Amino acid sequence: MKPLHNLMPAAALALAALIAFPTNSLAADPLPLERWRSYQGVSWELPAAGQVAAPFAQSVNAPIAGLHFDAQGGAYVSTPRLLSSAAPATLSRLDTTAEGGPARLTAFPSTQANDVAAPPHLALRNVLGFHVDRRNGWLWALDMGFVAGEAESPAGAQKVMVLDLVSGKLVKSIALDGVADRAGSFLNDIAVDERRRVAYVSDSGFRSAPRNKVGLIVVDFAVGTARRVLDGHASLQIEPGVKVVSGGSEVWPGNPLLIGVNGIALSPDGKTLYWTVTTATQAWSVPTAMLRRAGAGDAEIARAVKSLGAVGGNTDGIVTDTAGHLYITDVTQGGIVRYDPKTQGMALIAANDSVRWPDTPAFHPGGDLVFTASALNQHFAGQVKAGEERYELWRLRTGVQKSARR
């Protein structure tokens, strides 16, 4: 596997015949997707009154990926340092009052706390997945550790940093070096049981492809420790023969995208963990009681893993609503797939040809589902020219009245 920063695959080819899984047809009464915000790059500058801030010079290398909202509707986003380490922050607040121009970002909790040159165990270096904890007033930031140009994460860089949402002060930092590989891991996403104060991390093992070092990591806030479970399990692994397809074309033909477990989410009661695999076809679940029990071995946990069936396309992020429905971003069909645990039905409920790689979905406290779409596959392929980047937020009105604390 080539280092991530050197991935420069050939131009995409038409691939209608190569989709390796059945696709879900659009629901009879599809829900409309609204392009809620569309940004021309990003900016960490404070604009003068009545002026538009100048975009960051390397905006093309700082795509918006992760998204979450606090209880007041304040938005937080991640700009992972996968293409360049130059961005002044990898975790920021987003001013959603601006509907266009460069996205107005403010480093969270500060620029200093995002300093890539700081001691690796003290600052946020490369955040993709994070969680805004409305119950405790915290933000759980998953730091992948490495940045573009590094073959492995420096010692102490892989960690979960829990930050106070109001003050920005560090509440606790939990090291992950002992449960993640500094060269092969790719710490992708994090789901948090806010009541039990336990987090679940997906390790897609992307940097060790094609033999991805996949696994789940259980992080216990109370004792400040983490342990790895389901290490290398088939439900977390890429499926042989499956190709990642977006917009009717294979992603990176000749140098296929091989991402293991990616999005993870919890049921509203925190009793079930869900996940999907980007280079695969299905969604999965397991009771969290098995994951939290220190004496449970991988073989015992594996027996409790359940397939939810085929999603219908390649996937990225997932989230649940207060009714327990699971929402999955479908990068193949440019939309949202919903799974109902009561009926065990899986259906594509919304899609739009203009959606370019739907990534992280999150519920606004008012009930709307909002997700990021930043054509990440094209950015990582070097196919987006500077000045032509568009980082978008799409909105779906699901009918959920309120999103509750877990």
pLDDT for 51 equals 76
Reported as a single tens digit per residue, the pLDDT across 65-77 is: 999 999 999 999 9
- Is the pLDDT confidence value at 62 over 60? yes
- Is the pLDDT confidence value at 49 over 80? no
- Is the pLDDT confidence value at 7 over 80? no
Q: Which domain holds residue 25?
A: 4-46+58-396
Output the six-digit token pair for 246. 């977006």
Reported as a single tens digit per residue, the pLDDT across 320-372 is: 999 999 999 999 999 999 999 999 999 999 999 999 999 999 999 999 999 99
* CATH number reported for the structural domain that contains residue 42 in this entry: 2.120.10.30
Give the separation between CA 104 and CA 102, rounded to whole angstroms: 6
pLDDT for 14 equals 32
> Where residue 18 falls among pLDDT bands split at 50, 70, 90?
very low
- Is the pLDDT confidence value at 46 over 80? yes
- Cα 231 from chain centre: 20
Reported as a single tens digit per residue, the pLDDT across 137-162 is: 999 999 999 999 999 999 999 999 99
pLDDT for 28 equals 54
Number of domains the chain contains: 1
- Is the pLDDT confidence value at 125 over 60? yes
Asked, as a colleague might, if the bond just before 210 is cis with ω within 30 of 0, I would say yes
403 belongs to a structural domain: no
> Where residue 25 falls among pLDDT bands split at 50, 70, 90?
low
402 belongs to a structural domain: no
pLDDT for 29 equals 67
65: left (phi over 0), alpha (psi -120 to 50) or beta: alpha
pLDDT for 22 equals 56
Percent of the chain at pLDDT > 70 equals 91
246 belongs to a structural domain: yes
> Where residue 21 falls among pLDDT bands split at 50, 70, 90?
low
pLDDT for 48 equals 73
- Is the pLDDT confidence value at 400 over 90? no
**What is the average per-residue pLDDT within 273-290?**
98
- Is the pLDDT confidence value at 205 over 80? yes
Give the separation between CA 310 and CA 273, rounded to whole angstroms: 17
pLDDT for 398 equals 85
Provide the residue count of the chain.
406
pLDDT for 406 equals 53
**What is the average per-residue pLDDT within 117-127?**
98
> Where residue 276 falls among pLDDT bands split at 50, 70, 90?
very high
